[in-house]
Every structure is written in C-alpha cells, then in structure tokens.
Structure 1
C-alpha cells in the first residue's frame, strides 16, 4: 500500500508523476498550505518539517522527494534508475541532485513573488539576481534525458524545469527537454490529478525592472 500526501504545484508532484509512470496503485491525500493540516502532530510524525511530499510505503514513512524517488525506483521500477557501476551512473546521480540546485532558486523566487505578499517585504535585487541564476543554471539541462534514458533524475529535473517557466524564459535546449517532459502520458495523467492551483495563479512572474 502506498499513500501520498500532496499539495498541488509542489515538489510532491515529483512523486505523483513517478507513481503514474509505473501505473502504481496508491491513495492520494490532498493537503493545503493554507490551513493547519501540515502542522498537526500526525503529519509532523510523517514529515518533521511539516512539508510535502510525505509518503507511506507499506507502513514505512519517507519525506524527501529525491530520496523517495530513488528508493521507489530501486524497489519498484529499476528501469527508472541507473545501476551502480553503469557508465551513466554519475550523470544520473548528478541530475538527481542538480534538481535541488534549481529548486533552491525556485524557492527563493516563489518566496519573493508569492509568499511575501507586500511590496515592502520583497527585495527587487534578490528577485532579479535569482532569475538570472536560475536561467544560467537551466543551460545545463537538455536537449536529451539526463542519463541518456528517462529516469527518476528526469522526474526531479523535469518538475523543476516546468516550474522554472513561470519565472524565466527557457534556453533553447532546455525548451526541447521541457517538450519531452510534457509529452509523457504519465506526466499528463499526474497533471490531471495535481489539483486546483494553490501556489502559482499566474503563468509568468517577471522580475522587477531595474
């Protein structure tokens, strides 16, 4: 039995997408950032930081999306990982963790554009700087799958690329990579199950001029 606690447009989408890739049976528990459900004792026992994803796999709790992806691939879908000792193993691991580099820039941009609601709270300098950093970091992505074949590294990176489009124009090779992501039937199914927008209500958040 797999149960996933999920917030629309968040990193838990990575795990949702993976579960659709392998046609898994799972329970999806829709959560919200705008009530106290992620701070109650039961959820904090699953995810000490009070975040998503949180998942239970046959009673085993996990709460970090990169670790969840790798664990589930090892256990349920070895075709979605690159095995130890394989020539593409280094590229696979680097891609899986490079998603967190992109995620750090996305988190800062989301914080400034969306979470900090009043203009006086925001730093236009940080917003412009993070947008440039994100655009530069994206140049390393594409046009092919991270390790030469689709894997959970692409689920991690692909989610970040899709979110990045809300803040910066994609470099040409990254845009081709994004097209491959969007064409995957499992990605499309996961988007249908993602739920109503909770975080990003606009298609694009431009950095302030300056």
Structure 2
C-alpha cells in the first residue's frame, strides 16, 4: 500500500456503498476492488488483514487501512472539514449528529437480520416467521423515527446534509424490501432528495448491480 493510494474494498449494495457515496460527496474517486459474499473472497488471509471480521468496507487511505463504515465516514468528515459533512465537538448539532450516525447501525442490524432470514439462509424452511414478524415491526418503528425527523426539514439535521444522512440513507435502499413505505410520505420524499444528489447518482454508477434481492418485497409471513 502506498501513501497516496485510495482504494475501497467493496461489495455492491452493501454497507461499503456508504463509503463510495461519501467519497463522491467529497469529490474523491477511489480504486475499487470488488468482492462477493458467497465466493469466499472475504475470507482470504489478505482481506482479513484489512478487515478482521471479513466484512466490507475496508478503505485504504492516507497510508492506512480503515474498516467499519461508521468509522470511515467519521474519519473522512473530520479530516476533510471543508466539506462540512461532520459536526465537530462543541458544535450545536454534535450530539444529534452522533446519535443519527449510530442509530443508522441500529437500523442496519435489523436489516441484516431480515437479509439473513429472507435472502441468505440456504434452506428456506429454516426461516422463523416469529423472528421475521418481530424484525419487520422493529424496522417499521425505526422508520417512524425517521418520518418524524424529516417531516419538517430536508435532512436529518437542521443545519443541512451530513454524513449522518449517508449512514442512514443507505439503509433506505433495503428497507422497502421488508416494510411498505406507503405510510411514510416524508421518508419517501427524503429518499427522493437523496437520489437527486449528484454524488449519490455517481456512487450508484460506480457501485455495480445488486445481487441480493430477487423479489420486490419479502413479507414476513411468506
């Protein structure tokens, strides 16, 4: 790895999309090394040296390797403050910013459980309808929180778009596969604003096609 290498280790439509989008917002275009979840490429010795849990993202930047999407976004926001995508200690919105950054992972963990049950279990008969019902309800409650937050403003923070919108906005690509968005008009408008951002569109073009979902919707009782 060289000091000036910028390389994202990436699975399309995974959490590493957050990093791809954040880099696009910063006007930075990385090299991309692609991986696939089923083929064992995330379990090689070389990749595990970059991300010890064997998960994307891992980002080579500034002569180091950083894993965990939240850590990467916070690092990028703090080391490129001119983009105003973070909220520094002492700023009025600092606490709200941190809460949304971490709430995004609370929601993402629910989505991960739903993905596991609906998409990644090799034997569909092992799915638990009880778990699916509980997790779909939990996901709906997190959407209730977002609905209230973006009903009267464009972004999660009153001060404008931030890395928190990237952390959480990524989740809203997957959420509609498991919870209908009809009761969430503000969330739908929020998604429209996200998708209208040029950096988001650029990141989607670099992302590659998703290989997770074969259906438009996965009801908990299917």
TM-score by length of 1: 0.95
Q: After superposing the two structures, state which structure 1 stretch, 45-54 or 144-153, moved more.
A: 144-153
Deviations 1:112-163 (CA, angstroms, capped at 9, x unpaired): 0001132321001111111111011111112331122101000001001221
Q: After superposing the two structures, state which structure 1 stretch, 164-173 or 145-154, moved more.
A: 164-173
Match of 1:154 among 162, 165, 177: 165
Match of 2:60 among 56, 81, 91: 56
Match of 1:145 among 149, 155, 158: 155
Q: CA deviation at 1:196?
A: 2.2
Q: Map 1:1-40 to 2 at 5 A.
A: 1-40=5-44
CA distance in 2, matches of 1:128, 1:25: 40
Q: Map 1:1-210 to 2 at 5 A.
A: 1-78=5-82, 79-141=84-146, 142-143=150-151, 144-148=154-158, 149-170=160-181, 171-208=184-221
TM-score by length of 2: 0.90
CA distance in 2, matches of 1:201, 1:8: 15
Q: Secondary structure at the match of 2:177?
A: coil
Q: Secondary structure at the match of 2:145?
A: coil
Runs of 4+ in 1 over 4 A off after TM superposition: none
Q: CA deviation at 1:201?
A: 2.6
CA distance in 2, matches of 1:194, 1:130: 27
Q: CA deviation at 1:166?
A: 1.4
Q: Secondary structure at the match of 2:59?
A: strand
The number of equivalent residue pairs is 209
Structure 1, unmatched stretches of 5+, are none
CA distance in 1, matches of 2:111, 2:9: 21
Q: Secondary structure at the match of 1:70?
A: helix
